[in-house]
Chain A
Amino acid sequence: MNRNAPTRHDEAWRYSDISAVEATWPLAAPESIIVPAGGNFARTILQDTGSIHQLDIAIGKGATTAIHVLNIGGDYGRVELNITLHEGADFKLGAVQIGGGTQNLEIITTVTHAEPKATSSQIVRSVLAGTATGTYLGKVAVARDAQLTDSVQSVKAMLLDRSATANAKPELEIYADDVKCAHGCAIGELDAMGLFYLQARGIAPADAKKLMLQAFVAGVFDDAADEDILIESALKKLGELV
């Protein structure tokens, strides 16, 4: 046992595959990125091997950052983003995780609105089959001076089997008094009537499921530089699950 590795008592690791984490502990220092004032930064993270990605990003005044995540590979895959927004900065996350078998996939974000008028938007879609676990822990922290913060979290998970698990925790910590922080969270199953409707028109069950799941994750990768690769990889993974 690695004494310094996190345990389930650590909030940010409470649903993690602890033995997988211990095996790779200590981790390399998180990749640190500073987006200068007025700059634009974009990054695509395609996690398809079972690894831990940690990014610290400081977004300067009036700068923008767009991160797209497709978390699909390996027994344990984790993408952890620690974002700090300065005045008028904008952060966008579009993330999809698709897991089957015994996979444990998670996306952990801390978005700190340190200064006024910054905006952030996080869209996370999970599709889980078998006994897979998909987790999103997303904390939005708004500092005392960060008035006119505008933040959105939209979190949805689709369970293909009753044995799969989705954990979703949008979390707000707000010290300013003039802010907008929207958060929505839903966990569900594919609509049985919708599936029957598609089948009654001639579409085979697996293709009907795939069509509905494709619709479920559609839009998350809009405007991503690697949109085609992301969609192709997501569809391939969905095809393996249905």
Chain B
Amino acid sequence: MLQITNLHANVGEKPILKGLTLSLNAGEIHAIMGPNGAGKSTLGYVLSGRPGYEVTEGSVTFDGNDLLDLEPHERAAAGLFLGFQYPVEIPGVSNVQFLREALNAQRKNRGEAPLSGAEFLKVAREQAGALGMDMDMLKRPVNVGFSGGEKKRNEMVQMGIINPALAILDETDSGLDIDALRMVGDGINRIMRKPDKAVLLITHYQRLLDYVKPDFVHVLDNGRITRTGGAELALELERDGYKELAA
């Protein structure tokens, strides 16, 4: 589904990714772990097309098509979803309006008919309910006045509504209490644990992986994958630390 080959990327003048190769197939959940500054968030931003993140070498294909050739909104329409580490507050724009516009823009891009207001609200209500968010929150401006945990849950509600083929979740577990972590974990499993979907979980800690069991765990250090293993690798990292592993 996603094939990253020898990816090099700069932020400004600074090289961050230095030859990253990674392959995700449908039905798989991959976790990327690594120390601060290893390039984890940069990978998420490069894949979703954030301005200022420049690919200098290598390629990324998504379902066989050149991903790097697409604008951010085209990547979304193609089925890619980035869960933000720091979801952005957008005063004045309601969640409902934003999500309906986003979903219908994607559908239009794919040549599908737009959802009516009633159809959209039904989907939104289901997804919000499953993540313990009430509709009043969905009517409020995007992320404004939300706590850290609420913002992350809102990302999951958005993911449920948009229903992407590939989700890149950038530290979706940070800032969550234990109950919220379980809820987000359940959300990822429910929405994305399907034979035709894949997930790239970017995380610092093993604890989210208690709820979302990865098929593969990769260690990202200094801009490249330095080790790949199964779920047990995360436990090993938690026990021994990144330093020990690098040694």
Contact = CB atoms under 8 A, between A and B. Distances in A.
Interface string A197-231: 11111111101100110111011000000000000
Q: Is the interface of B mostly helix, strand, loop or mixed?
A: helix
A216 B93 CA distance: 9
Contact of B90 (A194, A199, A204, A205): A194
A191 interface: yes
Contacts of A212: 90, 92-93
A205 B51 CA distance: 12
Contact of B51 (A194, A196, A197): A196
Query: Which residue, of A212, A215, A219, has the highest number of chain B Cβ atoms within 10 A?
Result: A215
Given A194-B90, A211-B101, A215-B92, A202 B51 contact: no
Given A215-B93, A218-B92, A200 B48 contact: yes
A197 B102 CA distance: 11
B90 A201 contact: no
B90 A202 contact: no
Interface residues of A, number: 23
A216 B73 CA distance: 22
Top-9 shortest CB links A-B:
A215-B92, A202-B76, A202-B106, A201-B102, A199-B72, A197-B88, A202-B102, A199-B73, A202-B105
17 contacts: A192-B51, A193-B88, A194-B88, A196-B50, A197-B88, A199-B49, A199-B73, A200-B50, A200-B76, A201-B162, A202-B76, A203-B73, A203-B102, A205-B73, A212-B92, A214-B93, A215-B93
Interface of B: 48-51, 71-73, 75-77, 82, 84, 87-93, 97-99, 101-103, 105-106, 109, 141, 158, 162
Interface of A: 191-194, 196-205, 207-208, 211-212, 214-216, 218-219
